[in-house]
Amino acid sequence: MNKILKGRGLSDGIAEGEVIITSQPFSISAAFTFPLIQFSKKLKVADRTHELYKKDVKDKVLIFPYPIGTTTLGFVLLETIHRAIGPKAIVCERGEPLMSSGGVAADIFFGIQFPIVDQIDFKELEQIKNDSIVRVNGTEGTLEIVE
């Protein structure tokens, strides 16, 4: 049976994908705004100060400890979800309402579900290796390690 980690669901939906994980806090605004302005097909992290700089997070399940950054981050995340160029789901240890608003607004206004789960200890999360396949259930608040 697959290992299932239980957390809190912040934005509904189910998604399965390859993991990209970082132990650094993540600024969604700093990472995604520039590729959005450039109308890129991929989503290479544009934050020069981040270890994921230049890494493509399109279609990945993005895992980090907690989000940081400005109050634009909600609609920046909404834009990446709407254009389908961003990650498939986000899992972190400590979420906050600004980040959730991007996922929740995508569901309410566009009918696109983007699962976000938090409240899973980062010590558990960092056991998960890059490129592992996981299933994120934002409705139930779970992260299942598939392989």
Nearer residue to other proteins within complex by CB, 127 or 139: 139
Nearer residue to other proteins within complex by CB, 63 or 101: 101
Nearer residue to other proteins within complex by CB, 79 or 126: 79
Structure tokens at 62: 């993005």
- 127 neighbors 101 (Cβ within 8 angstroms): no
Q: Closest distance between other proteins and the C-beta of residue 129, in Å?
A: 27
Structure tokens at 123: 């010590």
Structure tokens at 4: 């299932």
Residues that bind other proteins (CB under 8 A): 8-10, 25, 33, 36-37, 66, 68-76, 78-79, 81-83, 95-98, 100-102, 104-106, 108-110
- 146 neighbors 134 (Cβ within 8 angstroms): yes
